[in-house]
Amino acid sequence: MLPRLSKLPRPALARAAARRAYVAPASKPVLELDVKKVGSEIRKRGLTNAIANTRDGGMDRDTIIRLLYSLGSRHEVERYLRIFTQSSKAGAGGVLPEAKFAVLKVGGAILTNELEDLALSLSFLNRLGLYPVVLHGAGPQLNEILEAEGVTPDYEDGIRITDAKTLQVARRVFLQENLKLTSALERLGTRARPIPTGVFYADYLDKDKYKLVGKINKVDKAPIEAAIRAGCLPILTSLAETADGQMLNVNADVAAGELAKVLEPMKIVYLNEKGGLFHGVTGKKISAINLDEEYDGLMKESWVKFGTKLKIREIKELLDTLPRTSSVAIISTDMLQKELFTDAGAGTLIRRGYKLYKQPAADAIASTKLREIFTERDPEVASGRKSVAEIFGEMKVTPHTVYGDEPFDVVAVVSHPEGQTPVMTKFLPSRNGVLNKTVDNVFDSIKKDHKRLFWTAQADDENRAWHFERADGSFTRAGRSLFWYGVPDVKQVEKIIEGFESSGRIDRVFLPVGPSTPPHRLAGAAPGNARAFSTSARPSLSAAGNYSFRRGYATEVPRKRVALIGARGYTGQNLVSLIDSHPGLELTHVSSRELAGLPLQGYTKGNVTYSNLSAEDVKKMEENGEVDAWVMALPNGVCKPFVDAIEAAHAKGSQGVIVDLSADYRFENNWTYGLPELYGREEIKQSKRISNPGCYATNSQLLIAPLLPFLDPAQSPTIFGVSGYSGAGTKSGQKDADGRPMTVPKISEADLTGSVRPYALTDHIHEREAGIHLSTLGNPMSVHFIPTVAPWYSGIVSVLNAPLKQDMRASDVTALYEAKYAAEPLVHVQKDAPDVRQVAGKHGWRVGGVQVHSSGKRVVVVGALDNLLKGAATQCMQNLNLALGYDELAGVPKDAY
């Protein structure tokens, strides 16, 4: 009979629990009972040893997941599993997808003192289908052997001076430790591959000073990917070699950072015995550090010095090079699963985050961007109950503070008249702000300033659970919920609310006050994790100095399926790339008559094959709900049968969105014209039929729009546009040497022979398109447009010549563009005329080079964009995102605006 669980030490406890699961008869009820019995102990002690020796078959994946539920809520665990496994399906940059989950750096002391726990943790992750890339050190072991052989370890600036004798011993020790870990994993039935060398290549760091110490100049990921393809965990050392084969020693932390720069994993994990970073004054573990917000202040703390300062600096330098989704966790081995699979975490999580701001309302309301946020998100404004001006006027009467983050993903307003209880009058998060937990950071910033707070939310608010989790108490009246924290006595709550209602600070709907009914706990939430919601006090969240932040990755983004009709051309290829990098969109169908049956290249989320969809096929797919959005990337005059088929299916209740890239529907009243920077976003969000503007037309309208009130109505503006030859599109019928269809431009660089070719000199369709849509912004107008094709691949430069009705200066005109586009992340206003090289391959629009004629009555302005991106594919992605409920720029690389 096994000993009682409560009497066993931690490692024995979990191994005993695991043995019970293995030894017990293979009946499901018995296994479930065992999991429940060990659940409370797992929550206290961690899950490292929940997998024991698997020679008898071991736990299956479902059992392991059920054990994970003991660490946090079922909702948390399943969310993280989806996020991590999706990272294992979404490789980029030529990196094998499975290598993008996590890089784990293991200290040498752990290999000596916690080898079994480490092997169990890694085996656990692998049985969930995850492949952490493990890199280990061996410093303590190396020092022990060197001292036994009479060699005193020598350091300079924290770097081990490595002579030939030291390197000889180091190589032997690394091989031994590498084999020890791989053998421990193999004993657990987890395949592992030792890779002691062949990944890192280096130059001498400083041969005279440090001797045989390397500075990594190249990381070869091929051995890592080969191991994962073979179903093995890659186990690396930090040994490097020069181009001529000389072995060099490299600091393991440095090697882990260089490895992460190549793999771009979601998590970089440093395992240490302490289990995190600790505040030097309070002695408490720091739960999370958001570098963009806290780094400067943190580095000035008196206790942040020596190794701690160096580690934080190195982590910041590393994360600055990685996507914002990446983070660093410093954690002990036995709490690795709790760190990875729960919001609370267990170690120290370090991420970039965003800088937060707070401003007195009187200063903040001058921001054009803030006005736009209120217009788009505030329910009072949306319902017509109040205007933005009314709300801003109220914010000026008594002291208010506006809180938020730099990209305005979250905006909150707190009213705090002197001597009175603060009220959060507005809380306006974007979808991105909720998914990326920015709401938590902004709310924590408010909590630092206000020890007590009241706020309200609609009872049907989709984020209602978020409000409950942050409140000490709440109750609901007349479809509104009132929340508060920091007031433990219900009698005091009643008194405060009476004061609010008499002064008009909240609506008169919340008396009489009574305790709230606890909301239903989310299905599957672990016992003990549900929070009671009542008017009784609960303990405040513990703080570690100034670094107490809520934890967690972004909640999983809802998945939407896209079908691309006409995927052969340049725009279709760019859309494939954007969808591939999108956090929520999945490309399920690509249709091309010529390429039918061939695999789609450049898409890594799954295996997609070109098909030749007919209008009838499209109708059936729409009726069956197989697609959430259709993108028509077809020539002008071709897509109507497909649109008609979808319309016929819509008559039966289907709801697929259509974005048409051709000119076929740009003049239809029942279609939404999708240029969000000029014609607004709300209509696009509500639309199922969106016509994507033309490339020249986009450039022209963005150029003219800020000048509309100042144009001479008697004379039309003229635009001379020059486009790369990709704007002419592709032609069919060409095949390569293997008989595969080729993407061939209709007009090539060779056709132009170093010249330019004007074409369609009058009545170009983009001329009519720009004039008709700009007329909706003011008085009827027309545009004169002259297009030209040039011998570069992509990019448009358009020169606007606009007669003015009044004298203006160049600085006045520039100010118009700056004011018009101040809140637009894809728009760049510059002094000089934009060059096509500034926009080729970029997703934004540039404007500049403003010059006014000596008469003061004629202005020339230059605008530029990539015709395949902002002129087509990127604009399509903006429209798709708005119509499907994503952040407008989801999937668009932020470093390529």
Catalytic residues: 695
For residue 223, give both structure tokens.
């051995």
* Distance in angstroms (rounded) separating the CA atoms of residues 667 and 774: 12
DSSP three-state, residue 235: strand
* Distance in angstroms (rounded) separating the CA atoms of residues 367 and 193: 57
The residues facing 631 across adjacent strands are 564, 659
Q: Establish how many alpha carbons lie within 13 A of residue 179's alpha carbon, considering only the half-sphere containing its beta carbon.
A: 6
- Give the burial class of 136: count Cβ atoms within 10 A of its Cβ; 0-12 exposed, 13-18 middle, 19 or more buried: buried
How do the residues of the chain divide into helix, strand and coil, expressed in percent and rounded to 5? 40, 20, 40
For residue 208, give both structure tokens.
């005279």
Task: Give Cα separations from 463 to 21, 459, 608 (angstroms).
Answer: 39, 10, 36
Determine how β-strand 672-673 pairs with β-strand 689-691: parallel
Task: Give Cα separations from 768 to 491, 664, 775, 780, 785 (angstroms).
Answer: 68, 13, 11, 12, 9
Neighbour tally for 323: CB within 10 Å: 15
For residue 18, give both structure tokens.
């695991």
- In this structure, are residues 408 and 355 in contact, taking their beta carbons and an 8 Å threshold? no
DSSP three-state, residue 216: strand
Task: Give Cα separations from 611 to 233, 370, 458, 594, 644 (angstroms).
Answer: 37, 46, 47, 9, 20
* Distance in angstroms (rounded) separating the CA atoms of residues 575 and 868: 9
The amino acid sitting at 431 is R
DSSP three-state, residue 619: helix
Task: Give Cα separations from 540 to 64, 483, 487, 616 (angstroms).
Answer: 33, 15, 11, 61
DSSP three-state, residue 434: helix
* Residues across the chain: 897
Which secondary structure element, helix H or strand E, spans residue 787, and what is its range? strand 784-790
Determine how β-strand 560-565 pairs with β-strand 480-485: unpaired
* Distance in angstroms (rounded) separating the CA atoms of residues 871 and 727: 10
Nearest to 509 by CA among 521, 517, 497: 497
- In this structure, are residues 607 and 632 in contact, taking their beta carbons and an 8 Å threshold? no
For residue 812, give both structure tokens.
């006045």
* Strand stretches in 45-142, DSSP E: 102-106, 133-136
Residue 896 CA, distance from chain mean position: 15
Nearest to 170 by CA among 220, 213, 199: 213
* Distance in angstroms (rounded) separating the CA atoms of residues 562 and 135: 39
Residue 774 CA, distance from chain mean position: 35
The amino acid sitting at 135 is L
Nearest to 479 by CA among 515, 440, 507: 507
